[in-house]
């Protein structure tokens, strides 16, 4: 029994090492032509957006919840939260700190969208993998503070018009894109 546990433990360690090695290789391949962290963030965001889609290949939400991030990536399926987490792992392999952000509805009880933030030049910039939007202010990736202060220039110049949404919790109507400037809940920070 002792030998069986030892063999099983080695198997688990090798699988974790292989997954990390695969992510490292994948991240390097995606970023091979990038010279700055901002270029890497954009390349990784675009790659994950193109690779992973909600309802991708006929899978459903339960498939995503019950499988690993690598499974979701390899099968091309994931909603905004899964896409953001895959982006975070790939960015970490490039030495870029990231964090997962749940954007909250006005009543702060529901999260209609999840994004990542990446730390570039000591600024936490918005990375919206689920929509692949390139939010910029002063010719660089925008922070949530930039988005709040210059909403018309940063957000409305990029996103399509969207009808008002109704919060399922409080039933209040709100402008969907304003969720980028509401309170947000940071869930996980990944350091390289």
Q: Tell me the per-residue pLDDT of 91-129, one tens digit each, with 9 for 90 and over.
A: 999 999 999 998 887 776 677 888 999 999 999 999 999
Q: Which long-range contacts (CB under 8 A, 24 or more apart) does 71-79 make?
A: 73/48, 76/51, 76/52, 77/52, 77/53, 78/52, 78/53, 78/54, 79/54, 79/114, 79/130
The whole-number average pLDDT for the span 3-11 is: 39
Share of the chain above pLDDT 70, in %: 85
| Local structure of 79: helix, strand or coil | coil
Cα–Cα distance measured from residue 5 to residue 115, given in angstroms and rounded to the nearest whole number: 40
Residue with tokens 């990944």: 190
Q: Tell me the per-residue pLDDT of 50-100, one tens digit each, with 9 for 90 and over.
A: 999 877 667 777 777 777 888 888 888 888 899 999 999 999 999 999 999
CATH classification of 2-190, choosing from 3.40.630, 3.90.550, 3.30.70, 3.10.620? 3.10.620
């Amino acid at each position: 029994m002792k030998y069986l546990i030892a063999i099983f433990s080695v198997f688990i360690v090798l699988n974790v090492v292989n997954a990390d090695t695969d992510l490292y290789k994948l991240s390097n391949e995606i970023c091979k032509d990038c010279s700055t962290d901002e270029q890497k963030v954009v390349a990784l965001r675009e790659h994950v957006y193109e690779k992973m889609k909600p309802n991708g290949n006929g899978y459903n939400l339960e498939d995503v919840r019950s499988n690993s991030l690598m499974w979701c990536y390899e099968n091309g399926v994931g909603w905004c939260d899964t896409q953001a987490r895959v982006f975070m792992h790939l960015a970490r392999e490039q030495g870029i700190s990231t964090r997962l952000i749940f954007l909250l509805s006005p009543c702060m009880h529901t999260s209609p969208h999840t994004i990542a933030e990446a730390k570039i030049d000591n600024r936490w910039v918005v990375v919206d993998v689920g929509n692949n939007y390139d939010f910029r202010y002063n010719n660089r990736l925008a922070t949530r503070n930039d988005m709040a202060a210059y909403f018309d220039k940063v957000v409305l110049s990029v996103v399509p018009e969207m009808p008002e949404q109704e919060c399922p919790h409080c039933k209040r109507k709100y402008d969907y894109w304003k969720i980028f400037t509401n309170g947000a809940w940071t869930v996980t920070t990944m350091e390289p």
